[in-house]
């Protein structure tokens, strides 16, 4: 249940349309992250109004809470969280990786202590796919090991990255077998790993492409590596994936990362940055970033971004008001900031798609960087 049409290209940049069971998605696309069944502080209706086309859920967290019995009773995640458009679910690999010393990785899967109640649990490729089948997510991710950039301050060696990459490949085969055994009607994506080593990335993607999956993701970036290493892998790997299938760069990133990722051939992005930064008073605008906690905004009557059409800006909420809400710890502050940041990301991708439709992506990209470098007035 996945169709991908490539509508236009300019250099490596691509304009496409992804058709899934719960609707179509215009690409390139940014996907807001709704880890535990909600995009933090933002109503589904607000997401629809800003033009969000597809959101994320997380297998690991939803498995622990509310649990599969509840989700099964609702027929999946769409009805449970009142979202009718497509959903992609992370396999849980990144969350297990983030547990650090609380988990032990083996061939079978990952054993760990639940961060909710301390229960001893085992997450396997098969169980990850079973959970995602209950969630009825439009895009299911294979279970993988997220290769760390470094451990205890020591960079991951090529031998360690190879072992991790090969484990993820074996888990990909098991994920596909379980996906097919269950008769899941949605789409399964593979995840390219290999750390910061281009040769391992090429081997990983070659063996995944041989599985002929509906789509492919680039994982293991934005895990603590220097920006130049992330950009190096971003420039290397996506363009080597099949041109007729969607390409997803996981967990990235800043507005500049998204634009440069599109220039490297990426179709799909997700990141917690818009909402996480919003909760910490960091707002994105066309002309650079605005730190609302700065005292300079205490009496400023302007909206966050006078060029923005989001609810927060169009309704006239001032920088001074958001500064006040943040200083007082009022929950409305991060809610308004999250709406703005997500709208900025979604609208950025809309502008980018329009530039690709009109064959002027290169010019648009130059103006984007010039505007962002100008700074907030």
Where residue 216 sits, what CATH number does that domain have? 3.20.20.105
Examine the fold and report which residue of 213, 240, 271 is the final residue of a domain before the chain moves on.
Answer: 271
How high is the pLDDT of residue 100? 76
How high is the pLDDT of residue 99? 77
How high is the pLDDT of residue 98? 77
Alpha-carbon distances of 14 from 203, 286, 294, 368, rounded to whole Å: 24, 23, 39, 18
- Domain range holding 294? 279-374
pLDDT at 367 over 80: yes
* Residues counted in the chain: 377
DSSP string of 258-313, one letter each residue: HHHHHHTT--EEE-SHHHHHHHTTEEEETTEEEETTSGGGTT--SBS-TT--SHHH
How high is the pLDDT of residue 94? 79
Q: Judge if 123 and 218 occupy the same domain.
A: yes
Examine the fold and report which residue of 271, 302, 334 is the final residue of a domain before the chain moves on.
Answer: 271
Q: Centre a 10 Å sphere on the Cβ of residue 17 and count the other Cβ atoms it contains.
A: 14
Examine the fold and report which residue of 246, 271, 296 is the final residue of a domain before the chain moves on.
Answer: 271
Q: Judge if 40 and 189 occupy the same domain.
A: yes
Catalytic residue among 144, 257, 267, 270: 270
How high is the pLDDT of residue 96? 74
How does pLDDT run across 241-279, given as a tens digit for each residue? Answer: 999 999 999 999 999 999 999 999 999 999 999 999 999
Q: Judge if 204 and 253 occupy the same domain.
A: yes
Average pLDDT of the residues of the chain: 96
Please say whether the dihedral angle defined by the alpha carbons of residues 135, 119, 39 and 195, taken in this order, is positive or negative.
negative
How high is the pLDDT of residue 102? 79
How does pLDDT run across 74-98, given as a tens digit for each residue? Answer: 999 999 999 999 999 999 887 877 7
Kind of pairing, strands 23-27 and 13-20? antiparallel
Q: Judge if 31 and 171 occupy the same domain.
A: yes
Which tokens is 165 given? Answer: 């990459």
CA quadruple 364, 248, 27, 277: dihedral, nearest 10: -60
How high is the pLDDT of residue 1? 79
Q: Judge if 122 and 19 occupy the same domain.
A: yes
Q: Average pLDDT, stretch 59-78?
A: 97
Residue 90 designated active-site: yes
How does pLDDT run across 184-240, given as a tens digit for each residue? Answer: 999 999 999 999 999 999 999 999 999 999 999 999 999 999 999 999 999 999 999
**H/E element, 6:** strand 3-10
- Reported confidence tier of residue 3, pLDDT bands at 50, 70, 90: very high
Number of compact structural domains in the chain = 2
Q: Judge if 70 and 119 occupy the same domain.
A: yes
pTM exceeds 0.95: yes
- Reported confidence tier of residue 54, pLDDT bands at 50, 70, 90: very high
How high is the pLDDT of residue 152? 87
Residue 270 designated active-site: yes
8 Å CB contact between 269 and 252: yes
How does pLDDT run across 93-120, given as a tens digit for each residue? Answer: 878 777 777 789 999 999 998 989 999 9
């Amino acid at each position: 249940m996945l169709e991908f049409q490539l509508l236009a290209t300019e250099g490596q940049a691509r304009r496409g349309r992804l058709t899934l069971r719960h609707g179509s998605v215009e690409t390139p696309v940014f996907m807001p992250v709704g880890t535990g069944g909600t995009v933090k502080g933002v109503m589904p209706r607000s997401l629809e109004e800003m033009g969000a086309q597809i959101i994320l859920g997380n297998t690991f967290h939803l498995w622990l809470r509310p649990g599969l019995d509840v989700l099964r009773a609702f027929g999946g995640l769409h009805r449970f969280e009142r979202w009718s458009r497509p959903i992609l679910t992370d396999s849980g690999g990144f969350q297990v990786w983030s547990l650090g010393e609380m988990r032990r990785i083996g061939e079978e899967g990952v054993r760990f202590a639940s961060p909710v109640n301390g229960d001893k649990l085992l997450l396997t490729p098969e169980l990850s796919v079973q959970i995602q089948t209950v969630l009825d997510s439009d895009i299911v991710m294979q279970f993988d090991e997220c290769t760390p950039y470094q451990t205890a301050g020591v960079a991951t060696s090529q031998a360690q990255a190879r072992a991790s990459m090969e484990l993820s490949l074996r888990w990909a085969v098991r994920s596909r077998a379980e996906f097919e055994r269950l008769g899941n009607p949605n789409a399964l994506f593979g995840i390219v790993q290999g750390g910061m080593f281009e040769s391992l990335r090429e081997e990983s993607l070659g063996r995944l492409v041989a599985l002929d999956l509906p789509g492919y993701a680039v994982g293991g970036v934005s895990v603590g590596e220097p920006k130049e290493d992330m950009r190096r892998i971003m420039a290397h790997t996506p363009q080597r994936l099949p041109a007729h299938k969607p390409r997803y760069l996981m967990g990235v990133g800043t507005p500049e990362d998204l634009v440069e990722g599109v220039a490297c051939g990426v179709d799909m992005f997700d990141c917690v940055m818009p909402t996480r930064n919003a909760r910490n008073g960091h707002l994105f605008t066309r002309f650079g970033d605005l730190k609302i906690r700065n005292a300079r905004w205490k009496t400023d009557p302007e909206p966050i971004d006078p060029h923005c059409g989001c609810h927060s800006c169009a309704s006239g909420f001032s920088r001074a008001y958001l500064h006040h809400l943040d200083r007082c710890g009022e929950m409305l502050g991060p809610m308004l900031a999250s709406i703005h940041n997500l709208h900025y990301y979604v609208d950025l991708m809309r502008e980018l798609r329009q530039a690709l439709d009109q064959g002027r992506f290169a010019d648009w990209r130059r103006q984007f960087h010039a505007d962002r470098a100008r700074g907030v007035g």
